[in-house]
A and B are shown apart, each in its own frame.
Chain A
């Protein structure tokens, strides 16, 4: 049946639909503020009137194109188009500054393709049992995985754990601004209707990373700005870089695939987990923070694999766990497809055609974007005194398009100033970003978990999944404290 699905997917009109979907998805993904969900929502009407399988193939092209597009701006100009692209900024943009933008883009494309393909293979063979496992997650599990994610990711910024925790707590504080979803009480809004909506995570990261970089460049004297001359052979990765990327791609794909089964923002979390793992086991620790290729390969692969495995509960149970999956579900329903347990038996050609379309979309994304790596990387040849103002304008435009709010532009600029100040000091913005991102999910999970467990943390720690993650978190925190204490005592001994 899979071969029949492939046979149908490889017809000329379907290949053309994949090409159109990937192209439009990439363009929209490159534009900050749109994101995958926004891209799918905007391009959904184009599929009206199309044949069902053709429409499905276009959707998957849009999906993969949008994901790749988000990483392009992260690498080139440090503007993350969505949450899952934030980590790519950390190493990808540093590589771009060293004239290795092409290598970063190429590795991101290849890693995304490999991991995405592995993810689709996983869907093909393991969809039903994995979908049932995903249903085992409840509020205590959401809370514990958010907490584990926060602690793991806070260890990303290696210089000062204390400052990293402070930044993470500031991020959590930002996440509490607005109307509390559980009790509908205004918190820290000071009577402002704009603040009552909360502070959008995408605006915060666009400000911290994107605008921060723009302000830093504009504030530097032009003689201090070095423009890397990019030769043609530098546009693509070297053999060494490819070799170093292979295992991170597979590890990232594995992490992303299983994390993608967890409801919620698992694609973003998987990118940070992959980054933390690669940093921990890297044979080149001195490169981290300055453009380590593994820091691009792993997270981008994790992102794509997670995005593929998020399809498993959607296809097997008809339950979307993310907003982009919900939009895909609406697209399926418009074309008369009802995802769920009966889809495989009632419409096998359509089901396998859909699986095949994901392979096709993934391949088309690679075929389209790999040759364009040189074009994208060449953008950095534009003098920074012209490029950065353009980046500023595109960032403001993307920020406005998110919520159609001028208030968001002010927030963007304020966080841009903060991002610039963080660059000049020893405070890393990544923990703040992850705190702001995971904060709402952490709080909702905690509140519901405390009610379910009747206020007893011990009840939570004895649950199999939640307990395992909470114990692991406790060990990590104790480990960091002990390391810090030992370091402090050694420094005191050194002084005396």
Chain B
């Protein structure tokens, strides 16, 4: 595919004059069976081909099929696209597509007054209105007066378009999402071709279904063209992206690609032990389909077994990885501590979700930072990294693997629901340009077995001498009991425990000498530093820039290394009158910064299950900048 900005809709009609805008945010909302995620993803593909920068935010209930038409069953997909580079899926939509009353009820509050509302009027039946707790029909009672409303007969028009194909009623009605998609394509001047190609690829073996979806798509497009919707016809010119080859990527896809690439760059065998858990399951599912890359996936009987098998693979000298979410980390904590005590190169992916307990499995949060830092018995330091964007998940996996083997230590990589599911354009990395990952244990000079000890350490990194089974003459035992320094034998002496406690801590701290320093965007010192970490990068970057445009001087630094911190962070946080730390938790990084550097850091905190709002954060930044 190549980028095009021509209007190849294939219909040949002369469109009404198009308004041009810099950025638009559209939200599709409907029943979880209505195909909103599918529609949203098609729109994202078409947008990618058109050449906008974009970011998406899928939001769906944990229930697979809540009762049809119910408020609990509403699923949505938001996409923001722009002629400029963007870093968030947008706070509030400019356009809301509501496929039924429950979707309208759940999402109308997010739509700006005067915003464009596209509703499937066929779904506004007495039954559906009742399920959404509407006492009267909002389409007729005047409650939508402040919005521009397009009442489209999506169901009946789609059914009419496909009626001679001999589909069941249910299958005919199911095409209504393509009708809605066609209409939105017309509104935003998207090319139909990528979606037509996709329909052929996906449904080619079911010609009737493929034809029905095509017809519904065309019908929706034609509806836009022939109805009086001129004021809603909008075009967002393509963005100027760095030249190169792009694809769309989600955070979970990037984790998968990162793991396979890391195995390739290190020449290690990848073993992924995991137990299905939202929102990390996709990593297991996608890796399981890539056996041709030598991937050994293992769907364990529980979270503990998942990490146990990964520890076994790591002990064997392989690339042992486990992936989970917060509740799974809680279950894995004892085994994770075994990896700390035995000092094994284990990779743990934590795709965070809303807690506590089962919490909100499909919603996002940054609430596992302190859990992975401290949620284990004893003093148990390990390396913690955090990805800042979907594409960054790829590079942080490579970094996690590099550090795990260099320091012979478990490494936790934090992602979250938002990164896992959000999609963005991603410049495809050139595999030949990526640095090989060094695996020091393969080039250890072992010397005389009589002098060998599994806890003899490298003087620079303090990495222990990791010798996997199979090496003749160096047979030894490790385990969860405290180790004697050097020999690794079981030891209970007070001096040894103090020494080993210090060594474990010092080893993790030394990682700071082998990672990049923290960079500050903006003034080197001054009134306000905004310090962020992980998935909030896009929202914080956007908010900082908006505050600057409003005339405020603001510095921004973003952390991807959570433990140890970059070595210059203490110096940086001491150079500003105020340090503001925005987080999708109640202040976990803030607690660490205060504790480590005695800085009276301030927080901006949202724990809503949704990504941070760039607009509200901008207000908070301006407030602190002017305080």
Decide if A and B are genuine partners. no
Q: Give the B-binding residues of A (Cβ under 8 A).
A: none
Q: Contact residues of B with A, CB < 8 Å?
A: none
